[in-house]
Amino acid sequence: MQEAKDAPISRSIMAKMSSDAGIVTNIRNVDDMIRVVANMHLCMGMRLHLLTYSAINSVPVIGIVCDPKIKGFMELIGQKRYSDLKFMSFNELMGHIDECMQNYENIKLELSEVCEVYKQKADLNGKIAIDIYEKGSADI
C-alpha cells in the first residue's frame, strides 16, 4: 500500500520464511490493488485501505492496530480479529488465523452482509447530496 515503507519490511519478513513468497509489483492504480486483494483467501494488515478492500471483497481480514482508526474500522465491520501492534504475539496472530480458517465461510458471509448495508448507506448519502445540490434540501 505504501511501497517505499512496506517493501523493505516485506523483504525482511520474506527472508525469514521457509516457504516461497513474493511482493506484488506494478500496481498502477486502486483498481489493480482491489483486484489483487479480491483474489486473496485471507488478509492481515495495518493499512486502512487494504482492510477496506478486503472487507468489500468478503476476504476474511485480521487487523494490526497501529492507529485507532484500524480498531474502529474492524469494530465497525463487526470483526474482532485484530491485535495491537505494540502488544501482539505470534500466538495471538495464529489464533486469529486459525479462527478465520475454521469459520471461513461464515466470516465471508458476515463481511458480505455488513458491506451491503454500508453500500446502501453510501448510496443514500449520494442521493441526499444530489437532492441538496439540486433542490436545496433533502427528504430523509
Q: What pLDDT digit, counting tens, does each position of 63-86 carry?
A: 999 999 999 999 999 999 999 999
Q: Which strands form 82-84's sheet, in the order they lie side by side?
A: 43-45, 61-65, 82-84
Asked if 85 and 64 touch (Cβ cutoff 8 Å), the reply is yes
DSSP secondary structure, 8-73, as one string: HHHHHHHHH-SS---------SHHHHHHHHHT-S-EEES-HHHHHHHHHTT--EEEEESSHHHHHH
Q: What pLDDT digit, counting tens, does each position of 3-31 carry?
A: 778 888 888 989 998 998 888 888 889 99
- Percentage of the chain lying above the pLDDT 90 cut: 75
Which pLDDT value is given to residue 1? 66
Asked if 54 and 34 touch (Cβ cutoff 8 Å), the reply is no
Asked if 73 and 95 touch (Cβ cutoff 8 Å), the reply is no
pLDDT of 125 higher than 70:
yes
Asked if 96 and 56 touch (Cβ cutoff 8 Å), the reply is no
